[in-house]
Amino acid sequence: MRRRELITLLGGAAAAWPLAARAQQAAKLPTIGFLGPTTPSSQSQHIAAFVQRLRELGWIEGRDVAIEVRWAEGRDERYAQIANEFVRMKVDVILTHNTLPVLAAKQATSVIPIVFASAGDPVGTGIVASLGRPGGNVTGLSSQATDTAGKRLEFLREVVPGLRRLAIIGNVGNPFSVREISEAQVAARTLGLDFDVFEIRRAEDVVPAFEALRDRAEALYVAPDSLLFANRIRINTLALGARLPTMCFNREYVEAGGLLSYGTSFTDHFRRAAGYVDKILRGAKPADLPVEQPTKFDLVINLTTAKALGLVIPTSVLARADEVIE
């Protein structure tokens, strides 16, 4: 998506400016390149939160700063292409999120500052040297939190009476997904659940995975990953057809028909990411900005999906929900 389209999407006041004047102004402005791992429809609220926070910090899009947006649409090979495009454009900051896009941006440049709105295990995956002293040109917000896989499975077990058999799917080409799969396995063992892991490497693997797990699971755990996120409607449709309750990381899965999600509030993370960009545009070095941890987690429940699966959500779970979709 080009900058003009972003303004239209967000309803920015600058959309009323003459096109030639905007183009001339943008050439003189500090430029943020946003590498979107998925699609505009799934991330418009995240960008809106980022832009709104930038405005609060004194950066008006189209007046004080330009934003170039590109969408990878869940295609891993696009991450490097977009990152290299931003390097050629000589943007002032690259903003992205999720592990693989951040690694692609880091591979593309060691000079342009990179801010990640979220990344799982940024130290373990080699994104930064440490949380307190990230080093290099990369910093941002970690989505890693202790025992979230265990909490997801606890919620799932509360909602699915007598749950014994679990299917776990994840993109094994994503190091954070691999870590999440491992944590889900540990949590499942702790809770006494049997489980099978089904590996995804490309979109074409989704349907065969469901064929393989048929009659082998009573619920589905989806590990966080941009590829699976881009295919969340297909995953939810297949899960509902197989009558499998799902637990996911992102609320957008639940908006698209999944049953439950529990994880980091990405809207909150994008607002906080604007603070990093603000500091960098004012002269701070990424190496001097510690990586921050998640502080807000959301439990989201889809009651329509629960009804379709014949499940009654316990009032104890509903009371803890941050959002209920009906």
pLDDT in tens, 244-263: 999 998 888 999 999 999 99
Q: Give the pLDDT of residue 203.
A: 92
Average pLDDT for 305-322: 96
Angle at 94 between CA 148 and CA 104, to 5 degrees: 65
Q: Give the pLDDT of residue 226.
A: 84
Q: Does residue 21 carry a pLDDT above 60? A: no
Contact of 115 with 142, CB cutoff 8 Å: no
Q: Of 180 and 41, which is predicted with more confidence?
A: 180
Residue 266 CA to residue 133 CA, distance in Å, equals 23
Of the chain, the percentage scoring pLDDT greater than 90 comes to 72
Nearest Cα residue to 98 out of 49, 141, 130: 141
| Average pLDDT score, the chain | 89
pLDDT in tens, 95-108: 999 889 999 999 99
Write the CA distances from 243 to 207, 240, 308, 326, integer angstroms. 15, 5, 9, 19
Q: Does residue 127 carry a pLDDT above 90? A: yes
Residue 10 contacts by C-beta under 8 Å, 6 or more apart in sequence? 44, 47, 48, 51, 61
Given phi > 0 = left and psi -120 to 50 = alpha, else beta, which region is 248? beta
**273 DSSP assignment:** H
Residue 92 CA to residue 89 CA, distance in Å, equals 9
**92 DSSP assignment:** S
Q: Does residue 15 carry a pLDDT above 50? A: no
Phi then psi for residue 61, to 5 deg, are -65, 125
**65 DSSP assignment:** B
Angle at 141 between CA 282 and CA 284, to 5 degrees: 20
Q: Give the pLDDT of residue 39.
A: 85
Residue 5 CA to residue 191 CA, distance in Å, equals 48
Contact of 301 with 259, CB cutoff 8 Å: yes
Q: Give the pLDDT of residue 145.
A: 62
Nearest Cα residue to 36 out of 293, 230, 274: 230
**pTM of the predicted structure, to 2 decimals:** 0.75
Q: In what order do the strands lie in the sheet with 138-142?
A: 66-71, 31-36, 93-96, 114-119, 138-142
Q: Which domains does the chain have, with CATH numbers?
A: 3-143+265-296 (3.40.50.2300), 148-264+298-325 (3.40.50.2300)
Contact of 106 with 138, CB cutoff 8 Å: yes
